[in-house]
Amino acid sequence: MSTQQVIDWLDQHEEQSIERMIDWLRIPSVGTDPKHDADTAKAAQWAADHLKASGFSVELMETGDPAGSGQPIVLATTTGDDDYTGPHVLFYGHYDVQPADPIELWESAPFEPIRKAAEGEIGERIVARGACDDKGQVMMFLEAMRGWYETTGKPGGGVKYTVLLEGEEESGSVNLERFVEEHKDTLGATDVCLISDTGMLGRGKPAITYGVRGLTYLEVTLIGPDQDLHSGLWGGKVPNPINELTKVLSQLWDDKRRVTIPNFYDGVRDLTQAERDAWKELGVDPEAALRGIGLPPEASIGEDGFSFIEREWARPTCDINGIIGGYTGPGAKTVIPSKASAKLSFRLVDDQDSETIASSVIEWFKQRTPPGCKWEFQNHGGGAPATCATESEPLQAAFRAIERGCGFKPSMIKSGGSIPVAGLLKTTVGLETIFMGFGLEDDRVHSPNEKFELDCFRMGARAHAALVEELVGSDA
């Protein structure tokens, strides 16, 4: 049994691996859209079949209340001999993808994956919705498992794995909490969680992500008159919900770009000098990152006193994700709308609590109710931030596996994105998570023309292959 044999297997079978990835990407598993429920179920079945063919015992589990109203969860475990050594690993991934719209901005159909040749610094890649987030990344693990099974006949190559793939990550994992509660025994029997759904430091620069931010997502609606009104007859003498809402929204930040909600920063951990220094050492180039999204250097704005990277990795933020209201059709219409809404997201860091923040935000809006109007609030869910132990034995194994599989030592980074399952597993079953992801900043996740570069896929598959041997010899 050796990592090298599995890496050779991955090299020799790469065409088939990529074909399989493309097959999976063809299934439009848009978990949030009921129109795609059959496709989402099909994508779950596809993953179940792949795991079965690698010697796993697999179950498709219903979720939701009533049962079956949610997207299925794929739950698989290695079977066979009991001579497993090392930690029992819970691999988590998601097979649902974001909706493809705006569809007109795609250069190729989102669910007809294409393989594109390298252009400039962008390497050969697969373009499709879900190519990077998260099917392509889950595929790196699945193919590493296939490689170990094919070369040794042992499912998991001798490491005990439990695999949990969900279909609701992109819609807030609404049924996951109950699932985890109900399967506490199974999940609690594992030693560490492994997730491939994050990014690298840059091209050819693999990384371990040791923290993600949490999230609070609220929709606020301001309701004024009980009907739309002629703006000439009523404007200037009654509240216009759009005027009033936007005035309140503009008070969310002060002139230092800090969030003004009382107690918002309670519990936020200060950055240590050691961490600040380590992040500086990473050599992140803000100007290059801004250039990549069409912005000049002076666009580097955010909370006073923090660097570009600190603002993403260590500080909480507030963003308006959408504003709805009034007339948005062609031409002009002189109208005062009856109501207006905004979708607001708050990214959280340790030790902020998603529910507490939601209550403070709601209270803050209530104290600013414009005369004669009323608010409605909808909580779209959220998740806890997670900072992971960096000294644990399994994380050291992942570190060595990346070095072995990719030829480079990984950088230790954080991410501003959110993966709520990590916080959930920590609080319910006390699991630490290792984020070993291979995405790039320009992969366009959640956007048109999402891609995953084959070099990233290769590095990830090899690192997951090497991880098996590193874990077999390590302590639980």
What's the closest the beta carbon of residue 170 comes to ligand BES, in angstroms? Answer: 5
Between 325 and 420, CB nearer to ligand BES: 420
Bridge partners of residue 199, in order along the sequence: 439
Residues 6+ apart with CB under 8 A from 238: 224, 225, 229, 336, 372
As measured in angstroms, the least distance from the Cβ of 323 to ligand BES is: 18
Please give the Cα distance from 325 to 339 (Å, whole number): 7
CB of 197 to ligand BES, least distance (A): 4
Which of 114, 108, 196 is CA-nearest to residue 415?
A: 196
User: Whose Cβ is closer to Mn ion: residue 213's or residue 404's?
Assistant: 213
* Binding segment toward Mn ion, per CB under 5 A, in 14-22, 134-142, 151-159, 432-440: 134-142
Site membership for Mn ion, residue 197 (CB under 5 A): yes
Residue 341 contacts residue 219 (beta carbons within 8 Å): yes
**Minimum separation from the CB atom of position 423 to ligand BES (A):** 11
| Contact with Mn ion (CB under 5 A) among 134, 166, 168, 443 | 134
Q: Give the residues across from 346 on adjacent strands.
A: 216, 318
CB of 418 to Mn ion, least distance (A): 9
Kindly tell me the sign of the dihedral angle through the C-alpha atoms of 434, 438, 443, 447: negative
Say whether residue 133 binds Mn ion (CB under 5 A). Answer: yes
Minimal CA–CA distance to 364: which of 380, 353, 352, 375? 375
Judged by CB, which is closer to ligand BES: 3, or 171? Answer: 171
How big is the site for Mn ion, counted in residues (CB under 5 A)?
3
How far apart (Å, rounded) are the C-alpha atoms in residues 386 and 214? Answer: 7
Taking the complex as a whole, how short is the minimal distance between the CB of residue 29 and Mn ion, in angstroms? 13
Query: Which residue number, 71 or 198, has a Cβ lying nearer to ligand BES?
Result: 198
Query: Which residues of this protein are in contact with ligand BES, per CB under 6 A?
Result: 133-134, 169-170, 172, 197-199, 212, 215, 383, 415, 417-420, 439, 445
Q: At 121, is the secondary structure helix, strand, or coil?
A: coil
> Closest residue (Cβ) to ligand BES?
417
Q: What is the dihedral of CA 320, 94, 1, 457, to 10 degrees?
A: -50
Query: In terms of CB distance, is 54 or 345 closer to ligand BES?
Result: 345
Judge contact between 175 and 63, C-beta under 8 A.
yes
Task: Give, in order, the Cα–Cα distances in Å from 393 to each of 156, 245, 390.
Answer: 19, 51, 9
Q: Considering CB distances under 5 to 8 angstroms, the limit depending on partner class, which of Mn ion, ligand BES, none binds residue 405?
A: none
What is the nearest approach in angstroms of ligand BES to the Cβ of residue 169? Answer: 5
Binder of residue 198, out of ligand BES, Mn ion, none (CB less than 5 to 8 A by kind): ligand BES
Q: Nearer to Mn ion by C-beta: 168 or 310?
A: 168
Give 398's contacts (C-beta < 8 A, 6+ positions apart). 194, 208, 410, 434, 436, 463, 467, 470
Residue number with CB closer to ligand BES (215 or 252):
215
**Residues making contact with Mn ion (CB under 5 A):** 133-134, 197
